[in-house]
Structure 1
Amino acid sequence: MNIRQLEAFHTTIETGSVTLAGERLGISQPAVSKLLRSLTEACGFQLFTRSGGRLVPTLEARMLAVEVERMFSGAKRIARLAEAVRNREWGEVTIAAPPALATLYLSNALSPFLAEQPDIHFTLQSKTSPRIGELVAAGQIDIGLSVLPFDHPNVSAEVIMRFSMVCILPAGHPLTGKQVIEIDDLRNEAFISLFRDDCSLMTIDRAFQLKGVQKRNRIEVPLSETACSFVANGVGVSIVPPFVGLDYPEDRLVRRTLLPETFMDVWLLTPNGRPLSLASQKLVDFIRAAVAPFDQRDDMHRSLQ
């Protein structure tokens, strides 16, 4: 008993005709008949009888056909899986990103990609940047997005975005009359600040210190999106990445350019020494496109020329 015999048997059962089976398989009718005869000998019982010129499977053949159908269905699933892997439509991908990216922006940005790739199992973790580097180095995640570089022999690091922080104000705040907010404008404003271990807070505090301005922290929150909520409710002002708070309308939250510009980088961290899966590679390409609207590296390059 071999696969070619079973293929002839399966196709004959499906088509109900040796001639049609031969056409589907691309072989002659006598060749199909020969395969069926050899399978009958291997089984030791009759597979088909003739009735009114038609080929009718015996009870034993119908029992055998159930198992053969399962075998060919499994082969088809394997073929579909191989095609999906080849087309990067299947796999498991785990990403870790800082809360500012993971809380809302990445879920919105990556949803179209994931909707078109239903066979990809996707996990998104919210971690601090130092922890993200450690997870990539240990091979526990496939892709890391970090606002800090990570120097490790097991990690490949590449800047994929440089963004400038923006100032957010409640609608109706006196400073909304200005198109550009300077650090000095925030001298006496109630400030919604992130926790002290947040990497962006260090960048913001440094900007205030360089201008000699004392930041008046009123509320500390764990997430930039939480800061946006407080600002939208009129409790204070804040400074956040440009991809945060995008779902708030201007009648609740106003975004303004901040001077001096306060830049931060986003690093793409991947395991060094083992290739990314096809699904991970495709997702990396999509992430590059998702962050491109906020990438100011080209603008900085042009301003220096």
Structure 2
Amino acid sequence: MNIRQLEAFHTTIETGSVTLAGERLGISQPAVSKLLRSFSETCGFQLFTRSGGRLVPTLEARMLAAEVDRMFAGTKRIARLAEAVRNREWGEVTIAAPAALATRYLTHALSPFLAEQPDIHLTLQSRNSPRIGELVAAGQVDIGLSVLPFEQPNIHSEVIMRFAMVCVLPAKHPLAEKQVIEIDDLRNESFVSLPRDDCSLMTVDRAFQMRGVQKRNRIEVPLSETACSLVANGVGISIVPPFVGLDYPEDRLVRRTLLPETFMDVWLLTPGGRPPSLASQKLVEFIRAAVSPFDQRFRPRPS
């Protein structure tokens, strides 16, 4: 038996007519009849009888039709899956990002996309930038976001955002009255700091060293969001990425421009040895849009 015989049989069962089956398949009635005869010979039993001018399937044909129907239902599912993949509505994507992005902002930003694409299966991992580079190079994640560049042949990398760190203060802190905070203003202030190996902490510490200001680290926490929580509760101040702590109202936590501006880049990393899936491409487009409000690359510097 072949697929054309099965199509003729399946369509004839569905329509109850050789003529209608031919119209649906785009072939002549004699062609359908020929396919049914050859299919009956292959099966070794009669498929249809005539009763009052109507084509009636035999009991054996009805038994066979149930299995054939399941087969064609499977092909329809494959067709729908192919269409969903083509339209980038289905797929499995793994993203690895630093905690400052993965903990809250990225999940919030991607929620509308995921709500509209229920057949895209996403895994979001929080990792430090060196580990993210290793995972991308090994092909274990589809999309990596890193604050460190990687120049390796098996990693494709590009900058998708340059952001300026901001100073966060309790709403009742005396410095909260200023719209711009200079590093010199932070001398002797009590800091909520990130771990010593955190890339953003290294960048902030360099800015303090260049101004000759001693930074007083009072509390060390693992995440920028944790730092914002302590600041909102009046424990100290901190310097964090601009996409962190956005959920706190201004009567608890204020965000101020930091001068001199302290910039960090976010690199988009993808495996270089294989083309990205259509679902990954769509997620990359969404991530670009999500980080664009904080991108300082094409904005004029303040005078």
TM bucket (normalised to shorter chain) is: over 0.9
1:252 counterpart = 2:259: no
Question: What one-letter code is carried by the residue in structure 2 that aligns with 1:288?
Answer: R
How far the C-alpha of 1:204 sits from its partner, in A, is: 0.9
Question: What one-letter code is carried by the residue in structure 1 that aligns with 2:234?
Answer: G
1:142 counterpart = 2:142: yes
Q: Which residue of 1 aligns with 2:17?
A: 17
Secondary structure of 2:283's counterpart equals: helix
Q: Which residue of 2 aligns with 1:182?
A: 182
**C-alpha separation between the residues in 1 aligned to 2:116 and 2:32?**
41
Secondary structure of 2:213's counterpart equals: coil
Secondary structure of 1:204's counterpart equals: helix
Q: Which residue of 2 aligns with 1:233?
A: 233
How far the C-alpha of 1:51 sits from its partner, in A, is: 2.6
Cα root mean square deviation, aligned: 1.6
**C-alpha separation between the residues in 2 aligned to 1:177 and 1:81?**
57
Question: What one-letter code is carried by the residue in structure 2 that aligns with 1:116?
Answer: E
Render the CA deviation track for 1:245-266: whole Å, top value 9, x for unaligned: 1111112211111111000000
1:202 counterpart = 2:202: yes
Render the CA deviation track for 1:101-153: whole Å, top value 9, x for unaligned: 11111111112222222222211111111111111112221111110111222
Question: What one-letter code is carried by the residue in structure 1 that aligns with 2:265?
Answer: D
**C-alpha separation between the residues in 2 aligned to 1:220 and 1:42?**
77
Question: What one-letter code is carried by the residue in structure 2 that aligns with 1:89?
Answer: E
**C-alpha separation between the residues in 2 aligned to 1:304 and 1:271?**
37
**C-alpha separation between the residues in 1 aligned to 2:194 and 2:301?**
31
Question: What one-letter code is carried by the residue in structure 1 that aligns with 2:12?
Answer: T
How far the C-alpha of 1:166 sits from its partner, in A, is: 0.5
**C-alpha separation between the residues in 2 aligned to 1:181 and 1:136?**
38
How far the C-alpha of 1:43 sits from its partner, in A, is: 1.2
How far the C-alpha of 1:19 sits from its partner, in A, is: 2.3
Secondary structure of 1:104's counterpart equals: helix
Percent identity between the aligned chains? 86
**C-alpha separation between the residues in 2 aligned to 1:57 and 1:83?**
34
**C-alpha separation between the residues in 2 aligned to 1:153 and 1:45?**
63
How far the C-alpha of 1:295 sits from its partner, in A, is: 0.4
**C-alpha separation between the residues in 1 aligned to 2:51 and 2:229?**
78
Gaps of 5+ in 1: none
For residues 220-299 of structure 1, the aligned pairs below 5 Å read 220-299=220-299
Q: Which residue of 2 aligns with 1:104?
A: 104
Render the CA deviation track for 1:209-253: whole Å, top value 9, x for unaligned: 122222121211000011111111111111100011111111221
Of stretches 95-104 and 276-285 in structure 1, the one that deviates more from structure 2 is 276-285
Of stretches 209-218 and 197-206 in structure 1, the one that deviates more from structure 2 is 209-218
**C-alpha separation between the residues in 1 aligned to 2:69 and 2:273?**
42
**C-alpha separation between the residues in 1 aligned to 2:248 and 2:23?**
62
For residues 111-150 of structure 1, the aligned pairs below 5 Å read 111-150=111-150
**C-alpha separation between the residues in 2 aligned to 1:177 and 1:278?**
49
Question: What one-letter code is carried by the residue in structure 1 that aligns with 2:38?
Answer: S
Q: Number of aligned pairs? A: 303
Render the CA deviation track for 1:164-198: whole Å, top value 9, x for unaligned: 00111112222111111111222132211001110
How far the C-alpha of 1:304 sits from its partner, in A, is: 9.8
How far the C-alpha of 1:303 sits from its partner, in A, is: 3.9
Gaps of 5+ in 2: none
Q: TM-score, normalised by structure 2?
A: 0.95
Q: Which residue of 2 aligns with 1:91?
A: 91
Q: Which residue of 2 aligns with 1:38?
A: 38
Of stretches 123-132 and 272-281 in structure 1, the one that deviates more from structure 2 is 272-281
Q: Which residue of 2 aligns with 1:74?
A: 74
Render the CA deviation track for 1:74-127: whole Å, top value 9, x for unaligned: 111211222222222222211111110111111111122222222222111111
How far the C-alpha of 1:54 sits from its partner, in A, is: 2.4
For residues 52-67 of structure 1, the aligned pairs below 5 Å read 52-67=52-67
Query: Are residues 304 and 255 of structure 1, via their aligned partners in 2, closer, same or farther at CA, if it must alter by over 3 Å?
Result: closer
Secondary structure of 2:236's counterpart equals: coil
Deviating above 3 A after TM superposition, structure 1's stretches of 4 or more consecutive aligned residues are: 302-305
Q: TM-score, normalised by structure 1?
A: 0.95
**C-alpha separation between the residues in 2 aligned to 1:235 and 1:116?**
40
Secondary structure of 2:242's counterpart equals: coil
Question: What one-letter code is carried by the residue in structure 2 that aligns with 1:22?
Answer: G
Secondary structure of 2:151's counterpart equals: coil
